[in-house]
Amino acid sequence: MHFTSEQRLDDGVLAREFTLGEIPGTLWTPESAESAESAESAVSAVSAAPAPLILMAHNNGLPKSDARLVARARHSVRRGYAVASIDAAGCGDRPRSAAEEQARADLRRALRAGEPVDEIFESLVGPLVDKAAPEWRVTLDALLSLPEVGGPVGYSGWTALGIRLAVTEPRIAAAGFFAGGYVPHAQREEARKVTVPLLLLLQWDDEGNPRQRALDLFDAFGTEAKTLHANTGGHTGTPWFEGEDAGRFFDRHLSQHGGQGLQGPR
- Residues 120-150 have pLDDT tens digits of 999 989 999 999 999 999 999 999 999 999 8
CA–CA separation, 229 and 173 (whole Å): 20
Average pLDDT (188-193) is 97
Residue 41 has pLDDT above 90, yes or no: no
Residue 105 has pLDDT above 60, yes or no: yes
C-alpha dihedral sign at 37, 42, 43, 45: positive
More reliable by pLDDT, 223 or 261: 223
Superfamily (CATH H level) for 2-255 = Alpha/Beta hydrolase fold, catalytic domain (3.40.50.1820)
pLDDT for position 160 = 94
Secondary structure, 3-state, 138-193? HHHHHHCCCCCEEEEEEEEEEHHHHHHHHHHCCCEEEEEEECCCCCCHHHHHHHHH
**For residue 216, what is the enclosing H or E element?**
helix 211-220
Calculate the alpha carbon distances from 245 to 82, 90, 241 in Å.
18, 31, 6
Is the preceding omega at residue 152 within 30 degrees of 0, hence cis? yes
Residue 43 has pLDDT above 50, yes or no: no
Tell me if 23 sits within 8 A of 87, measured CB to CB.
yes
Tell me if 33 sits within 8 A of 48, measured CB to CB.
yes
Residue 74 has pLDDT above 90, yes or no: yes
pLDDT level of residue 31 (50, 70, 90 thresholds): confident
CA–CA separation, 214 and 202 (whole Å): 7
pLDDT level of residue 240 (50, 70, 90 thresholds): confident
Calculate the alpha carbon distances from 229 to 179, 213, 235 in Å.
10, 15, 14
SS3 219: helix
Tell me if 181 sits within 8 A of 158, measured CB to CB.
yes
CA atoms within 13 A on the CB side of 226: 19
